[in-house]
Copies of this chain bind each other. A is one copy, B any other.
Amino acid sequence: MSSQKSTAESVEMRAPKRERGRQRVANLLAAASKIIAERGYDAATMTAIAVEAGASIGSLYQFFPTKAALAEVLLDQYGARLGDRLNALLALQTGLTTAKMSEGLVAMMLDLTADRTAVMAILDARDAGPEAGEARRQLRARLEDGLERLLRIVRPDLKGDALVSLRLSLLYMLKAIPAMVGDAPQLATQVRDDMTRALACYISG
A-B pairs with lowest CB-CB distance, top 6: A42-B42, A172-B176, A40-B126, A165-B190, A43-B127, A198-B202
A187 touches B202 (CB 8 A): no
Q: Which of A38-70 contact B (CB under 8 A)?
A: 38-40, 42-43
With A40-B125, A168-B184 in contact, is A161–B190 under 8 Å at CB? yes
With A42-B43, A164-B184 in contact, is A179–B190 under 8 Å at CB? no
A166 sits at the interface (CB 8 A): yes
The residues of A with any CB-CB pair to B shorter than 8 Å are 38-40, 42-43, 121, 124-127, 161-162, 164-166, 168-169, 172-173, 175-177, 179-180, 183-184, 187, 190-191, 194-195, 198, 201-202
With A42-B42, A126-B40, A201-B201 in contact, is A180–B191 under 8 Å at CB? no
Question: A180 — nearest CB in chain B belongs to which residue?
Answer: B172
B residues less than 8 Å from A169 (CB atoms) = 180, 191, 194-195, 198
Question: How long is the Cα–Cα vector from A179 to B174 in the complex, in angstroms?
Answer: 13
Question: A203 — nearest CB in chain B belongs to which residue?
Answer: B198
Question: How long is the Cα–Cα vector from A201 to B40 in the complex, in angstroms?
Answer: 35
| Least distance between A39 CB and chain B CB atoms (Å) | 5
With A127-B40, A198-B198 in contact, is A165–B179 under 8 Å at CB? no
